[in-house]
Amino acid sequence: MRAVLQRVSSASVSVAGEVVGALDGPGLVVLLGVTHDDGPAEVEWLARKVRDVRILREERSVGDVGAPVLVVSQFTLYGDARKGRRPTWNAAAPGPVSEPVYEAFCAELEKLGVAVERGIFGADMAVSLVNDGPVTLLLETP
């Protein structure tokens, strides 16, 4: 699994012009990519890492301050553009494989006490966010 974490002061995700998930204060936007062999161990590891990584102001974590997380599925995190001019998506798990992993990741965060907002899996989403400083991390499961 791969995740891009962006520290934000606010964020929202819309589908067809309708807001389906939003953060109205400090928190994280997590763009989540799933590959073919991701399972429960990767879900648990990444959810704990997202909760505990100290990238909020004053070196605090989501778990420290109770900040919410907006999770958006993002298969393009597994895009490969090393050859040619068109990226391939071969490393990205197809929807029937990745959607349950996405849902399990969101559920694991909630189980860990994190308030989770979500996009709609597979939808054409418009993500809007206001950065809270230049803080963006790429996480990848071991």
Instruction: Please give the tally of structural domains in the chain.
Output: 1
Cα–Cα nearest to 11, from 26, 77, 62, 53: 26
The alpha carbon dihedral of 6, 7, 8, 11 has a sign of positive
Q: How far apart are CA 99 and CA 57, in angstroms?
A: 32
pLDDT of residue 110: 98
- Which residue segment(s) compose the domain that 87 sits in? 2-140
CATH number at residue 104: 3.50.80.10
Determine contact, residues 63/114, Cβ cutoff 8 Å.
Answer: yes
Which member of 6, 74, 136, 141 is catalytic?
74
Q: What does pTM read for this prediction? A: 0.95
Which member of 35, 76, 88, 105 is catalytic?
76
What average pLDDT does range 114-136 have in this prediction?
Answer: 95
Residue 74 falls in the annotated catalytic set = yes
Which member of 35, 75, 88, 105 is catalytic?
75
pLDDT in tens, 69-124: 999 999 999 999 999 999 999 999 999 999 999 999 999 999 999 999 999 999 99
